[in-house]
């Protein structure tokens, strides 16, 4: 005996409503950084220099000495090496082993490395489609298995599976991008003299990446800080 026919006219509007809710959730995931107050920096934004570094005229062939302090020895050495390499390759300056032998002195004092928070990453279109397709396939197979006629169960299973797969893809995309900031004092002199404390300018940069911890962010922060200093050396 064939089972009585049931009306599922309400199912399509319900699916559309749920899809709209999921899309709204995805849109909220694109919100900006959620600041954290745990670091000494107080979660202050650190996208660009707090103060523009003074422009220092340089010319190819001059000598330069770079010194970095304030961080741990490995960090100081890495940043000093990176910054020296940038200046040598991009400005044509010759590295000097001692400050007394240099025309230009660059001094960097690392003051703080701190978390700025996390940023939700919106799901990509490809991930959403693949999640929906996988859910639809599994739902169709399950629907065929539980429905004797095959057609009705496969249809309902595919629709429900696609919706579930899309929801899982959206939820899986939340809160994966971590943001870190670095603040440093920078001083540059072109007369071979050490920069005075009053000549040090604060520079702040930030970097972000998926599940990025403090150690993971250091290369990107060093690179951005090096570029800030390099841009102050005007050829």
Residues 6+ apart with CB under 8 A from 48: 204, 205
CA trace torsion 14, 15, 20, 21 (10° rounding): 70
In angstroms, rounded to a whole number, what is the distance separating the alpha carbons of residues 157 and 136? 7
Residue tagged 């919706």 (tokens):
163
Give the pLDDT score at 32: 46
pLDDT beyond 80 at 87: yes
pLDDT beyond 50 at 34: no
Give the pLDDT score at 177: 75
In angstroms, rounded to a whole number, what is the distance separating the alpha carbons of residues 149 and 113? 64
Specify the pTM.
Answer: 0.61
- Expressed in angstroms, the distance from the first to the final Cα of the chain is 90
* Bridge partners of residue 211, in order along the sequence: none
Give the pLDDT score at 212: 85
Each residue's pLDDT tens digit, 130-151: 555 555 555 555 555 555 454 5
More confident residue, 76 or 51: 76
Residue 31: CB atoms within 10 A of its CB come to: 10
pLDDT beyond 60 at 10: no
Give the pLDDT score at 33: 45
Query: In the chain, pLDDT over 70 holds for what percent of residues?
Result: 54
In angstroms, rounded to a whole number, what is the distance separating the alpha carbons of residues 26 and 173? 9
In angstroms, rounded to a whole number, what is the distance separating the alpha carbons of residues 48 and 152? 59
pLDDT beyond 90 at 127: no
Nearest one of 228, 231, 213, 219 to 81, comparing CA atoms: 219
Give the pLDDT score at 147: 54
Nearest one of 130, 133, 131 to 158, comparing CA atoms: 133
More confident residue, 229 or 133: 229
* Bridge partners of residue 205, in order along the sequence: 182
In angstroms, rounded to a whole number, what is the distance separating the alpha carbons of residues 84 and 229? 10
Give the pLDDT score at 40: 39
Each residue's pLDDT tens digit, 90-120: 999 999 999 999 999 999 999 999 999 876 6
Give the pLDDT score at 229: 97
Give the pLDDT score at 159: 57
Mean pLDDT: which of 30-44, 130-144, 183-197 is highest? 183-197
Give the pLDDT score at 96: 97
Cβ atoms 234, 58 nearer than 8 A = yes
pLDDT beyond 90 at 29: no
Residues 6+ apart with CB under 8 A from 66: 80, 83, 84, 87, 95, 106, 107, 108
To the nearest whole number, what is the mean pLDDT of the chain?
74
């Amino acid at each position: 005996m064939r089972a009585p026919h049931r009306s599922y006219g309400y199912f399509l509007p319900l699916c559309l409503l749920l899809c709209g809710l999921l899309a709204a959730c995805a849109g909220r995931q694109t919100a900006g950084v959620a600041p954290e107050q745990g670091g000494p920096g107080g979660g202050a934004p650190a996208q660009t220099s707090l103060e523009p570094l003074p422009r220092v005229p340089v010319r190819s062939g001059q000598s330069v000495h770079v010194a970095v302090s304030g961080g741990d020895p490995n960090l100081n050495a890495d940043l000093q090496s990176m910054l020296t390499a940038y200046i040598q390759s991009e400005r044509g300056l010759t590295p000097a082993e001692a400050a007394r032998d240099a025309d230009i002195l660059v001094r960097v004092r690392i003051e703080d490395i701190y978390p700025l928070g996390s940023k939700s990453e919106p799901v990509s279109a490809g991930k959403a489609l693949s999640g929906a397709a996988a859910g639809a396939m599994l739902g169709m197979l399950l629907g065929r298995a539980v429905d004797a006629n095959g057609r009705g169960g496969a249809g309902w299973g595919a629709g429900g599976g696609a919706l579930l797969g899309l929801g899982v893809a959206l939820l899986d995309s939340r809160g994966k991008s971590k943001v870190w900031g670095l603040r440093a004092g920078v001083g540059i002199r072109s007369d071979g003299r050490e920069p005075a404390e009053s000549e040090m300018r604060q520079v702040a940069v930030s970097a972000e990446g998926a599940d990025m911890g403090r150690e993971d962010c250091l290369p990107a922060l060093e690179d951005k800080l090096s570029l800030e200093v390099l841009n102050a050396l005007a050829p």
